[in-house]
Amino acid sequence: MNKLVIKACSEILKEHFIKLNPADKQLSNFFRNNHHFGKRDRVYISELYYGVIRNKRYLIENINDENPKKLVMIYLVLILGKSIRELSSFLDKQDLIWLREKKSNKVEITKWAKKLSLPDWLWKKFLEQYGQETSISLAQSLLLPANLNLRVNLLKEKDILKVLNSLISSIPELKNEIIKTNLSPISISLPRGTSIQKNLLFLDGLVEIQDEASQIITFLVNPKRGNMVADFCAGAGGKTLGISAMMKNTGRVYAFDISDKRLANLKKRLKRSGASNIIPHKIINENDTKIKRLRNKFDRVLVDAPCTGLGTLRRNPDLKWKHSLESLNELNIKQNLIINSASKLCKVGANLIYATCSLLKEENEDIVDNFLLKNKNFRILSPNSIFTKYGIPLNSDKYIKLTPDEHKTDGFFSVILERFE
């Protein structure tokens, strides 16, 4: 920690507050234009930056000020527990006087939404859905940073322990912190901030970056060799690649998305992964003619629907300030349209897997209930036989709901719907 780190973090926050760019994009832009920062300083800057964004509302309430540098300083004291003495070597005299005054006159915040740095509308939704005790636990977990999760690419290596040991050998200083995770049988956890993109295991396609919850969704697809599978909102293809590996490069996996940029990223990942059964398709929207031509053709259809992303706040803390009741309603309209359109791809006997990384029932159970009301030829399947098949220690008769406080993963929702006639 030094004066340059605090200055850099303050500059990035100022740009983020003004331009409202995604937090990760703002950070990447800064480092791209400032090559002189070493690895350790980059880690410090990143941790500070995301820490302030996670706790933004609480910090502002304490100092009644949105000045980025002041937010960084008060974060160091109130959240990280740094003493004034520790900070005295790299703060100006005026800053130290201000910090002492604020520390000695700490504001007593009683409103939970402010204490937990959530917008009022979201806290109200949490209370309605989870009750106060669970809402507090959930919100507290969303203030913590997430570890880095990797998915072992079964197309390249089936021995998970071999990959684990290779990772430990390649990063020996983290040997006690690189571990297998509890839920996904092919997931490895590394400490947050670990740089993996230049590691040979990543470059050779043996591992992919993917949260453990997202890996569980891939297992729920449960494709068979030779199946026709559609990933309806494929994005950059994390789940697409996982599905391909489960199918051992047989059958066909159609990756649909409306974004050229995301599909371009998928194509880059394809080369590294060794997958050869994936067919990327750019579509205009959920009613694209390509979709209509493929009706009743697929054995499995995955809909990882566009959503608020509130289950990923540990990684994307700025999302909570980008959404509102209005944007939630707009997403609900889109989610209803997408699941209905995607369902038309299912042949009789096919499974439709609906998933979001949201924690709100409006994007999850309510969408499914509305779909089933209008589509009497679909029914919910229990995922328990799939969990047993792959050795996943979860149990549910209906919906799969993962949360960072209970499962130490991103927040995810999913359900398996079977077209039975």
Task: Give 307-363 pLDDT, tens digit per residue.
Answer: 999 999 999 999 999 999 999 999 999 999 999 999 999 999 999 999 999 999 999
Residue % of the chain over a pLDDT of 70: 100
Two structure tokens written together for 150: 């990797």
Nearest to 225 by CA among 299, 326, 330: 299
Instruction: Tokens 């039975």: give the residue.
Output: 420
In this prediction, residue 369 carries a pLDDT of: 98
End-to-end C-alpha distance for the chain, whole angstroms: 63
The pLDDT value given to residue 267:
87
Q: Which residues pair with 282 in a beta bridge?
A: 257
CA distances from 373 to 23, 223, 289, 369, 376 (A): 39, 27, 26, 6, 7
What angle, rounded to 10 degrees, do the helices at 23-33 and 39-54 form?
Answer: 150
DSSP string, 61-123: HHHT---HHHHHHHHHHHTS---HHHHTTSS-HHHHHHHHHHHHT------HHHHTT--HHHH
- Collect the ranges in the chain with pLDDT lower than 50: none
CB 26 within 8 A of CB 16: yes
CB-based burial label for 109 (10 Å; 0-12, 13-18, 19+):
middle
148-209, which class in CATH? alpha beta
CATH pick for 213-419 out of 3.10.105.10, 3.40.50.150, 3.30.499.10, 1.10.3720.10: 3.40.50.150
Q: What number of residues does the chain have?
A: 421
Question: Which pair of structure tokens corresponds to residue 393?
Answer: 């220690």
pLDDT of residue 101: 92
Question: How does pLDDT run across 100-112, given as a tens digit for each residue?
Answer: 999 888 888 989 9
Q: What is the pLDDT of residue 183?
A: 97
Q: Of 290, 308, 305, whose CA–CA distance to 345 is shortest?
A: 290
pLDDT of residue 105: 84
Amino acid at residue number 190: L
Amino acid found at 99: L
Q: Is the dihedral of CA 153, 156, 159, 165 positive or negative?
A: negative
Return the sign of the alpha-carbon dihedral for residues 90, 191, 206, 237. Answer: negative
The per-residue pLDDT for 268 is 87
- 306-309: Cβ within 8 A, 24+ apart: 306/233, 306/331, 306/334, 306/335, 306/338, 307/331, 307/335, 307/356, 307/357, 307/358, 307/363, 308/358, 308/360, 308/363, 309/357, 309/358
In the sheet that holds 179-180, the strands lie side by side as: 179-180, 187-190, 148-152, 207-209
Residue 314 is which amino acid?
A: R
Distance CA 210, CA 305 (A): 17
Residue 152: what pLDDT? 97
Cα–Cα distance between 172 and 177 in angstroms, integer? 10
Q: Where are the domains of the chain?
A: 3-109, 116-143, 148-209, 213-419
Q: Are strands 252-257 and 228-231 parallel, antiparallel or unpaired?
A: parallel
Say if 148-209 and 213-419 have the same CATH topology: no
Instruction: State the Cα–Cα distance between residues 411 and 314, nearest whole angstrom.
Output: 10
Collect all residues with Cβ–Cβ distance below 8 Å to 256 and sequence separation of at least 6. 230, 231, 232, 233, 234, 281, 283, 290, 291
pLDDT per position as a tens digit, 144-170: 999 999 999 999 999 999 999 999 999
Mean pLDDT of the chain: 95
